[in-house]
Structure 1
Amino acid sequence: MAYEDVKQRLRGSICPVITPFTEQGEIDEETFKQLVNWQIESGSHGISVTGTSGEPSSLTVEERKRVMKLAMETIDGRVPFAPGTGSTNHKETMELTKYAEELSADAAMVIVPYYNKPNQQALYNHFKTVANAVKIPIIIYNIPGRTAVNMEVSTMKRLVEDCPNIIGAKESNKDFEHVNRVLLHCGRDFLLFSGIELLCYPMLAIGGAGFISATANVEPKKVAALYNAWADGDVKRAQDLHYELMPLNDVLFKDTNPAPAKAALGMMGKIYPKLRMPMGPPSEALKAEIRETLAHCGILASAGSKS
């Protein structure tokens, strides 16, 4: 596989699409396909599914495969596709990553295992085993706030040196010094994506490849426009969009993602805002704040509501 080709294409705003459910809690396949099409039509540069925003820990392995297949079919080659295939279970991670390869996805995004808290050598062993089992490009997903363990730069560097198909990382890491050192030690051509909304613009400034932002679920055009402005050399426009998005970024993370995003999409008439337990909806006070923010941003002007 030509990894350099993937590195050129897999850039920009890659939306981590939520998994919509029916009122009965089943995957709403038609709504999901509508969401993927809306993202592409709105200018998102790529699609990811079954990452944090897609509630993967609430899905069975077969459900995750179904969502991945639906996404691949709906995208139909229009934009790159990088599904989340990681799990706290090594065997499941292997199975899902191999399935992404079977689908001919552009890359697989593999999360640092959560709950287990493996040490750095164990992380290295896990990722190297997964990477060596496939030829598909791998994007490491480092999100210490969710996993309770941070992949150190030295570990990431070892993996990049030893596994040619590890081509990038999504860093949901508020330690921006760490993020800078990733590019320094893993190489300036390493695809570095921000998973922290307020660091999407700064990530571009240090040489990042883009962002995988949950906010794109709600405001895909503006999130994609931020990357486009930077790519076009319009720094002032990129800065303006960074600050325009800040109120929405803030309110969508006042409760655990994707609860606020699903509430917002329900208010917009895009989905029925169902979450699977143990997740639950935001408080009524936060819902009111979300609605007010959406109205302030002009998002609710002509939308119905399924909330």
Structure 2
Amino acid sequence: MNIQEAKQRLRGSIAPIVTPFKKDHSIDFEAFRKLIHWHIASGTHGISVTGTTGEPSSLTVEERVDVMKEAHTAINGRVPFVPGTGSTNHQETMYLTKKAQEIGADAALVIVPYYNKPSQHALYKHFKTVADAVDIPIIVYNIPGRTATNLHVETLAKLSRDCENIIGVKESNKDFEHINRVLLNCGRDFLLYSGIELLCYPMLAIGGAGHISATANVVPDKVAEIYDAWVEGDVKRAQDLHYDLMPLNDVLFKDTNPAPLKAALGMMGKINPDLRLPMDLPTGTLQDEIRSVLADYVEIADGIGLK
């Protein structure tokens, strides 16, 4: 996919799929493939794996590559494939991004390095070096609440000017003023995705390309429909979906993502909901709340008990 084609196709709801584990905490690839098929059948516009929701910090580098390969095979070209390839380690990010290109990904989602809190100058060098090493499009992933570092608009704008294949950003940033300035400074054709559930609809209104929303794991049809309704000019339907999903969005983020999300998918009978330590399922009280809210949106599988 060339740059111009990517800018046309990489739009809508790009669902960040969870990485399901078996009881022994090995990766459940059968459940993983079923999730991908379900998403595509539900109208999801693109698939992302090994981003925040896919628990990449709980996976080995080899497992991340295996997940990318399995996803690419399961998707089989039906929708764009955008794996997360970022890490706190520069060489690891380089390796995973090159692997994504080798596997056949349509783009790579590269997170701002976490924990080590690099300067803006260092961030520029990091992303430029990664972008220069591959031909596939790069979508920068800015999530300051989890990385402890905010990629400044000026840094992103310089990257967009200097690296043709840095074509967009996933902004998991609650500062909506910052988000507006991304398109002002990077250009209106720069692909802006919401990573904040309550900003999925508002970002479309300012010219966003879509969203990469964890909630899509539970209701992929509704999250995709927000985008579809907007591009079809049905503003009221998009607004209605925005507000309809707010209770679900709220409960899915009462504990660290993807713990509530995996609990919800377990209640739906889609996956075994286990996480790898140091992550764990929500407490029983929150599980009850998730189950109560979830029942308003989807069918709860019989006999499912997570406590």
TM range (shorter): over 0.9
Question: Pairwise mapping of residues 101-250 of structure 1 onto structure 2 (< 5 A)?
Answer: 101-250=101-250
Asked if structure 2 preserves the Cα contact closer than 8 Å seen for 1:81 and 1:106, the reply is yes
Query: Is 2:299 the partner of 1:300?
Result: yes
TM-score, normalised via structure 2 length: 0.98
Query: Is 2:68 the partner of 1:76?
Result: no
Asked if structure 2 preserves the Cα contact closer than 8 Å seen for 1:270 and 1:306, the reply is no
Asked if structure 2 preserves the Cα contact closer than 8 Å seen for 1:13 and 1:227, the reply is yes
Shift of 1:301: 5.2
Match of 1:254 in 2: 254
| Structure 2 unmatched runs, 5+ | none
Shift of 1:300: 2.1
Asked if structure 2 preserves the Cα contact closer than 8 Å seen for 1:43 and 1:224, the reply is yes
Question: Pairwise mapping of residues 285-296 of structure 1 onto structure 2 (< 5 A)?
Answer: 285-296=285-296
Asked if structure 1 preserves the Cα contact closer than 8 Å seen for 2:13 and 2:224, the reply is yes
**Relative to 1, partners in 2 of residues 1:49 and 1:304: Cα closer, same or farther, differing over 3 Å?**
farther
Match of 2:278 in 1: 278
Deviations for 1:70-98, whole angstroms, at most 9, x for unmatched residues? 00000000000000000000010000000
Separation (CA, whole Å) in 2 of partners of 1:227 and 1:160: 25
Matched position secondary structure for 1:296:
coil
Match of 1:93 in 2: 93
Shift of 1:303: 6.0
Shift of 1:306: 6.6
Shift of 1:104: 1.6
Match of 1:17 in 2: 17
Separation (CA, whole Å) in 1 of partners of 2:253 and 2:10: 26
Separation (CA, whole Å) in 2 of partners of 1:305 and 1:213: 25
**Relative to 1, partners in 2 of residues 1:303 and 1:178: Cα closer, same or farther, differing over 3 Å?**
farther
**Relative to 1, partners in 2 of residues 1:304 and 1:187: Cα closer, same or farther, differing over 3 Å?**
farther
Asked if structure 2 preserves the Cα contact closer than 8 Å seen for 1:272 and 1:306, the reply is no
Matched position secondary structure for 2:189:
coil
Shift of 1:201: 0.2
Deviations for 1:242-271, whole angstroms, at most 9, x for unmatched residues? 000000000000000000000000000000
Separation (CA, whole Å) in 1 of partners of 2:241 and 2:143: 25
Asked if structure 2 preserves the Cα contact closer than 8 Å seen for 1:269 and 1:306, the reply is no
Separation (CA, whole Å) in 2 of partners of 1:2 and 1:260: 37
Asked if structure 1 preserves the Cα contact closer than 8 Å seen for 2:14 and 2:213, the reply is yes
Match of 2:269 in 1: 269
Deviations for 1:151-193, whole angstroms, at most 9, x for unmatched residues? 0000000100100000000000000000000000000000000
Deviations for 1:260-300, whole angstroms, at most 9, x for unmatched residues? 00000000000000100000110111100000001122x02
Separation (CA, whole Å) in 1 of partners of 2:163 and 2:305: 46
Asked if structure 1 preserves the Cα contact closer than 8 Å seen for 2:42 and 2:221, the reply is yes
**Relative to 1, partners in 2 of residues 1:93 and 1:295: Cα closer, same or farther, differing over 3 Å?**
same
Separation (CA, whole Å) in 1 of partners of 2:83 and 2:138: 10
Counterpart amino acid of residue 202 in structure 2: P
Shift of 1:305: 2.9
Counterpart amino acid of residue 152 in structure 2: E
Separation (CA, whole Å) in 2 of partners of 1:190 and 1:135: 17
**Relative to 1, partners in 2 of residues 1:134 and 1:105: Cα closer, same or farther, differing over 3 Å?**
same
TM-score, normalised via structure 1 length: 0.98
Separation (CA, whole Å) in 2 of partners of 1:194 and 1:233: 19
Shift of 1:103: 1.2
| Structure 1 unmatched runs, 5+ | none
Shift of 1:302: 5.9
Matched position secondary structure for 1:116:
coil
Shift of 1:197: 0.1
Query: Is 2:65 the partner of 1:65?
Result: yes
Counterpart amino acid of residue 64 in structure 1: R
The percent identity for this pair of structures is 71
Shift of 1:2: 2.0
Number of aligned pairs?
306
- CA RMSD for the aligned pairs? 1.0
Separation (CA, whole Å) in 1 of partners of 2:243 and 2:285: 24
Separation (CA, whole Å) in 1 of partners of 2:132 and 2:206: 30
Counterpart amino acid of residue 106 in structure 2: D
